Amino acid sequence: IGRSRKRYPPGPRGLPLLGNLFDLPKREEWVAYKEMSRKYNSDLIYLDVLGTSIVVVNSLEVAQDLFDKRSSIYSDRPRMPMLNELIGFDWHFAFMPYGEPWRERRRLFHKEFTPPATLLHRPRELEATRKALVKFLDNPDGDYLSKFRYLSSTIILGTAYGIDVQNNNDPYVNVSERAVYAITQAGNIPSYLVDQIPALKYIPEWFPGGGFKKQAREWREYANDTPTLPLKFVKDSLADGTARSSIASRLISGMDEEGNRTPENEALLRDVLGSIYVAGSDTTTAVLENFVLAMVKNPDMLKKGQRAVDAVTGPNRLPDFSDQNSIPYVDALLKESLRWRPITPLAAPHRLMTDDEYQGYHIPRGSIVVGNSWAMLHDEVLYGPDTHLFNPERFLTSDGKIDSEVKHPEMLFGFSRRQCPGMDMAESSIWMTIASMLACFDILKAVDDAGRPIEPVEEYSSGMVCRPRLFRCSIQPRSPRVETLIREGL
């Protein structure tokens, strides 16, 4: 009775006991929540699912009011029985509850990836990019995905652990890809009924409806191996004197020198490095897939990007990080690749730690609060008309410079204290890849046996990470001179 007297944000009327269980969208939830926002004329949408309050934030203004200005009560994570308790990703600080263990891990992560610190990783980013360019030359089969995965894995595994990625079937890459897949499937609340009824985690696999337990058991192996296997590699390499420079080798050696290599400090290091490993291995790949799809669909933008790069680098060298402030069109392509089809259209869920009142609405303690990044990144007030179209010009002034008045699409990386601290390095590596691809390759539609262009179909996966489904394309070197530059670039 007391609950019914409170004024909650608007949303669909629920059923007795079940609430809005059947109102939860099955696919493209971000679009469905934006439609609810329009229907109810509210940037906040409220759903009650089996007694759990879910609040979806559909505008940047409200997100800043809640996640930023009230971050002390909106920075917790909800309990995630499937992801954390059954699969075993409780070591990943992105999914940890707000508290001291989370603070310790984020502090160490942030220390290694501040903007000045990321400059130290740029030589490895450049080397990995040049190696990936050679792969595109040696295998011009249009298989962009495997090359981008190699690129991102080479950067992350090299930076974090000093591991050289194998050309094919690398065991560390295989583990991380399976771990990332598990996170994308189980990371959105509520992905599984056990997230709403935690007691279900105790039912046996063979029990009707217990199939999620079998799935969790299979994924648990990857959740366990992700932080432990590469760290073991570093410790073994340090012991036999073969360790390469990396975050892990430096921090472990530092602990040995200071005499504080305790199990607690090793666990802290293991968790942070594992979080780096998972966070970086998939996100940059998905953004680059967006970029390739956009270039295939917009050959005029490809040509404009190529001209912009050529004007700075000339015919005798490849782009490097010294060019970053000289090619604003590449910056605009990067930002639009982040905005157009955001790879995390729904931010990881927050949990409200105490009752709150906002704009006359009551938001109860324990609510799951989700930022609809897609809705914000498609807000025409922020990004102008036709936000469904790929248009890098929206980030540029009339004279071709970056428009500082247009909001950076950082909502893609989360909000406030829960925003990904690896954002700067991710953007840095994506910038270098985009500039290099423009300098070296024509990215075009594939053709069928009759020579007719094949239109790419815009279909996207649905989950915590949203990416375009594989499509055929043609990625060919622009000239023999480019081939020489690529091979000399190594």
Structure confidence at residue 304 (pLDDT): 98
What pLDDT, on a 0 to 100 scale, did the predictor assign at position 459?
87
Q: What is the pLDDT of residue 224?
A: 95
**In one letter, which amino acid is 203?**
I
Average pLDDT of 235-259?
92
Task: Return the pLDDT at 2.
Answer: 39
Phi, then psi, of 343 in degrees rounded to 5: -70, -20
User: Position of tokens 């990470």?
Assistant: 465
List, in sequence order, every residue forming a beta bridge with 46; answer none if it has no partner.
55
Per the annotation, does 473 bind a ligand?
no
Which pLDDT value is given to residue 97? 94
Q: Which pair of tokens denotes residue 18?
A: 């079940």
Amino acid at 227: P
**Residue 62 pLDDT more than 60?**
yes
Helix %, strand %, coil % for the chain, to 5? 55, 10, 35
Q: How confident is the model at residue 3 (pLDDT cuts 50, 70, 90)?
A: very low
The strand order across the sheet containing 368-371 reads: 44-49, 52-57, 368-371, 350-351
DSSP state of 67: I
Residue 142 pLDDT more than 80? no
- CATH number of the domain where residue 113 is located: 1.10.630.10
- The amino acid that residue 9 corresponds to is P
- For 435, the domain range is 3-489
How many CB atoms lie under 10 A from the CB of residue 461? 14
Q: Mean pLDDT across the stretch 287-308?
A: 97
| Predicted pLDDT of residue 1 | 38
pLDDT tens digits, one per residue of 174-220: 998 899 889 988 887 677 889 988 999 999 999 999 999 999 999 99
To the nearest 10°, the Cα dihedral for 94, 96, 101, 106? 10
User: Is pLDDT above 80 for 5?
Assistant: no
| Rounded average pLDDT over 469-487 | 93
| Residues 366-378: tens digit of each pLDDT | 999 999 999 999 9
pLDDT of residue 4: 57
* pLDDT exceeds 70 at position 64: yes
pLDDT at 352 over 60: yes
> 10 Å Cβ neighbour count for 137?
17
State the pLDDT at residue 26: 84
Mean per-residue pLDDT for 100-128?
Answer: 91
Q: How many domains does the chain have?
A: 1
Q: Please tell me the distance from the alpha carbon of residue 102 to that of residue 249, in angstroms, as a whole number.
A: 23
Average pLDDT, the chain: 93
DSSP three-state, residue 475: strand
pLDDT in tens, 424-466: 999 999 999 999 999 999 999 999 988 899 999 888 887 788 8
Identify which of 15-19, 263-267, 395-399 has the greatest average pLDDT.
Answer: 395-399
Strand segments (E) across 352-489:
356-358, 361-363, 368-371, 441-445, 473-477
Q: Two tokens at 435?
A: 């500039």
The pLDDT of residue 139 is 87
Question: Which helix (DSSP H) or strand (DSSP E) does residue 55 occupy?
Answer: strand 52-57
Mean pLDDT value of segment 261-274:
92
Q: Whole-angstrom Cα distance, residue 332 to residue 423?
A: 17
Run of H or E residues at 101: helix 100-112
